[in-house]
Structure formats: structure tokens, C-alpha cells
């Protein structure tokens, strides 16, 4: 019989531009999450490298070559901890050498890659306080929805800026997703006002668990991220949230509770459009 509960963890990092150092920190925190019983661990966006685009291109790896430094390290983390590991966004080499994909990788407890998702929505904004960011200038966009299964839990993948596009999550739920992942590197400026309400809205409207793993603190090129990694339940309640530091937050997902929420307020079955 498939389990109806799932222990999960969101890892909060302060990644820099040193790949080896970042991967070492990831391994430490994945092991810590495992000691707390986690069977699914989510790493944030830019977990392996958070720096300039020209260097990002040099660390990009092809999925066809799983022996790359980053992919090898992830496979070993998942295998040694015997858990599902979602690595929230790393540079995957594309046909355009100057614009790798921003790709989330999923590894199973045997260390084998089971899924990959290329970020669809790219962060091209000019903020009122003067910050201009153009992710598309150095990143290629994906175009496919991705889910994978852990027992009775179907997990839908997204990355950071995707969070602002509810139609993506509606489509994932239509494919059976009851857990939604949001690895991110939300800026401090937008995160302090939008991170909590957006995550809670996605949980409420999807009647799904949301696991959001974020970057926190200061990074190269003057970037500052908001953090507050969290797990939100299908009612919209935040059941675990990180403070302003590197670390891990954990929670237990309960399929019975999720089904109770969906039965009590049957908005998914009441949809008209």
C-alpha cells in the first residue's frame, strides 16, 4: 500500500559564485534534512552557482552527460541519503551557447535522474527602486509542464518567477498534481511584499501542498534575496517557515487532510472554464 504521508524539506541557501563550495553546502543540508526524516528535499534556484552570466555559461552542463560536476554531486546526494532530491534550477547547456536553460533536476533514492523541468517564465523586469533584471538575455526558456510521482503524491515543478502565473499551476493540478514545488531566488524588494501571498494563493486555489525553497541574503553582483523558505498546506496555512539564515525547514504532507480540504470546498470539481 502506498504511503499517505510524506516528510519533506525545503533547503534555504546563500549561494555564491563558487560551485564546489555551494555543492558542499547542499550536501551538508540534504544530509541534515534526511536525519529529520525527509523523503523529498527541495534545493532553491541557483543552488550550484549564483554569479555572472559569462561564468554561468562556463559551468553549464548537458543532461546527455550526467557525469558533469553538478549532476554527479546531485546524484550522490540523493543516493547517499536515499531520498528524492529536487535541485531547483541550474544552468543546462542549450543549443544557444550564450543562453543555457534554467533547469530543475529530480533524482530518485537510487541516484537516477527521474525528471527535469526547464523554467518557462523568465524574469525580465525594471523595478521601481532602479534594479533592472533581464533573465532572458542569458537564459533560454522552456515550454513543457513536468510532474513526477512519489506514491500517491503527484509533484508539479516550477521555478521562481513561474509563481506569478497561476495558469501554470492550474495546468499542473489538471494533470493530477497535489504537491507544487517553487524553488526560487526571489529578490528582497519583491519578496517582502509578494512571496507569502503568492505562495498561499497558489496553495489555496490549487488545494495542494506548496514547498518553496529560497535563496536568502547577499550574493555576487549586488543581489539580495528574501529567503523565507516554507511549506504551505492546501488550506493556505504556512506549516513551516525558515528564519533569516541558511538552513532547512521540514513538514509532513498528509494526503487524507488534502482530500478533506478538496471535499469540503470542491472548487476544483466546480470549475466552469
- Residues belonging to the active site: 45, 119, 160
The total number of residues shown for the chain amounts to: 273
Rounded (10°) angle between helices 166-174 and 188-206: 30
Q: Tally the C-alpha atoms within 13 A of residue 41's C-alpha that lie toward its C-beta.
A: 31
Q: How far is the C-alpha of 108 from the C-alpha of 113, rounded, in Å?
A: 6
Q: How far is the C-alpha of 245 from the C-alpha of 242, rounded, in Å?
A: 7
Q: How far is the C-alpha of 142 from the C-alpha of 144, rounded, in Å?
A: 6
Q: How far is the C-alpha of 235 from the C-alpha of 173, rounded, in Å?
A: 15
Q: Are 211 and 180 in contact (CB under 8 A)?
A: yes
Q: How far is the C-alpha of 66 from the C-alpha of 106, rounded, in Å?
A: 12
Amino acid at each position: 500500500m502506498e504511503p499517505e504521508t510524506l516528510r519533506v524539506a525545503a533547503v534555504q541557501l546563500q549561494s555564491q559564485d563558487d560551485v564546489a563550495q555551494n555543492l558542499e553546502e547542499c550536501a551538508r543540508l540534504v544530509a541534515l534534512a534526511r536525519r529529520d526524516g525527509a523523503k523529498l528535499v527541495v534545493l532553491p534556484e541557483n543552488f550550484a552557482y549564483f554569479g555572472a552570466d559569462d561564468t554561468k555559461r562556463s559551468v553549464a552542463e548537458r543532461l546527455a552527460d550526467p557525469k558533469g560536476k553538478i549532476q554527479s554531486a546531485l546524484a550522490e546526494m540523493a543516493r547517499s541519503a536515499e531520498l528524492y532530491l529536487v535541485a531547483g534550477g541550474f544552468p543546462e547547456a542549450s543549443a544557444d551557447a550564450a543562453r543555457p536553460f534554467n533547469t530543475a533536476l529530480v533524482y530518485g533514492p537510487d541516484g537516477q535522474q527521474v525528471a527535469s523541468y526547464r523554467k518557462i517564465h523568465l524574469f525580465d523586469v525594471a523595478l521601481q527602486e532602479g534594479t533592472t533584471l533581464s533573465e532572458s538575455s542569458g537564459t533560454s526558456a522552456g515550454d513543457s509542464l513536468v510532474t513526477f510521482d512519489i506514491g500517491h503524491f503527484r509533484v508539479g515543478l516550477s521555478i521562481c518567477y513561474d509563481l506569478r502565473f497561476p495558469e501554470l499551476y492550474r495546468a499542473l493540478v489538471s494533470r493530477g498534481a497535489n504537491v507544487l514545488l517553487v524553488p526560487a531566488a526571489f529578490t528582497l524588494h519583491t519578496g517582502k511584499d509578494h512571496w507569502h501571498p503568492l505562495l498561499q494563493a497558489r496553495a489555496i486555489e490549487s488545494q495542494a501542498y506548496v514547498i518553496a525553497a529560497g535563496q536568502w541574503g547577499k550574493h555576487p553582483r549586488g543581489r539580495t534575496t528574501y529567503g523565507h523558505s516554507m511549506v504551505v498546506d492546501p488550506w493556505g496555512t504556512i506549516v513551516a517557515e525558515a528564519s533569516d539564515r541558511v538552513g532547512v525547514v521540514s513538514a509532513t504532507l498528509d494526503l487524507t487532510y488534502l482530500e478533506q480540504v478538496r471535499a469540503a470546498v470542491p472548487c476544483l470539481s466546480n470549475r466552469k472554464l
